[in-house]
Every structure is written in structure tokens, then in C-alpha cells.
Amino acid sequence: MLFDQHAPRLLRMAALIVGSTDAARDCVQETFVRVLRSTVHHQTGTLQAYLSTIAYRLALKESIRLRRLVPQGFPEAASPGPSPLEDAIAGERQREVARALQSLPPRHREILILRLHGEHSYEEIAEMTGLPLGTVKSRIFYAVRQIRTMMKKRGVE
């Protein structure tokens, strides 16, 4: 039940960090394996933040490993739509956003992924990454501004 509830969000987040849906699935599965094997020593934070921290760190490690092997690609973007045309348009928009996101510097990209796809608060992101809260806020601000500029140049709303 926990897997069904949290896996889709973790998969989106990991796929954007790693750049591969298959590698992201492995990261999500490893996240739950580690949770089952671990003994939680503290009671602060939420289960969502705990799972995301594990998945985030696994995805970062996998991303580094994959960059050594092959150039990083873009995660597949799937969008449910009532018609094939709407599905194609939404898919293209998501691919453009993923391309723009991948072109951000890693320090901005990872923070934005945690916020938008990991659905974490600024405080949770600060705790997960070990960054000051102000740094998290400024990186998100500048990352969103860069994405908007890139999307506008590409003609995507």
C-alpha cells in the first residue's frame, strides 16, 4: 500500500534526476528495500520526506554512475489525454520542460525537482540536502526564472 501511494511521485523525481525511467525504477525499488531493511532511529519528519531523501540520494549516485557510462538523455514524458492529439501536445510540452530542466545547472535542477516533482516543502528540501533554507529558496527562484525564459524562447506556454 505504501509503495502504491509513494512510488509514482518518487519515480517522477528520480527519472528527472537520473534521466532514465528504467534507472529511476531501480532507484525507487531500492528505496523501499532499504526502508524495509532499516531501523529508524528518529521520529522527526514525514514518511514522504524520509522516502524522498533515500530516493534522491540513490538517484544522484545513479546519475553520476550513468554519466560515466553514457551521455545523459531525457526521461520519457507520458501524459494521459482524452485524445491522441492532446496527448501528443502534452507529451511534447513535457519533453520541452524536461529538456529545459536538464539544461539547468545541477545545483538548481536538483532543488527544483525536489520541490515540483518530489512535492517537498522548502524546509524539507533544506533538511534533505543540508543547505540553508535561504539558499534553497533562492535556487528555486532562479531555476524557475531560467525555465520560464527558456520556455518562452522555445515558444512553449
Would you list the DSSP string of the chain?
-HHHHHHHHHHHHHHHHHS-HHHHHHHHHHHHHHHHH-------S-HHHHHHHHHHHHHHHHHHHHHHHS-----------SSHHHHHHHHHHHHHHHHHHHHS-HHHHHHHHHHHTS---HHHHHHHHT--HHHHHHHHHHHHHHHHHHHHHHT--
- pTM for this entry: 0.53
Q: Which three cell numbers stand for residue 60?
A: 544522484
CATH 1.10.10.10 fits 83-157, yes or no: yes
1-73 CATH fold: Rna Polymerase Sigma Factor; Chain: A (1.10.1740)
Comma-separated ranges of CATH 1.10.10.10 domains in the chain:
83-157
Comma-separated ranges of CATH 1.10.1740 domains in the chain:
1-73
* 110-135 residue pLDDT tens: 888 888 877 888 998 998 889 999 99
* 57-99 residue pLDDT tens: 898 888 888 777 654 445 444 444 446 666 666 777 778 878 8
* 11-53 residue pLDDT tens: 888 888 888 888 889 999 998 888 888 877 666 778 888 888 8
pLDDT at 132: 94
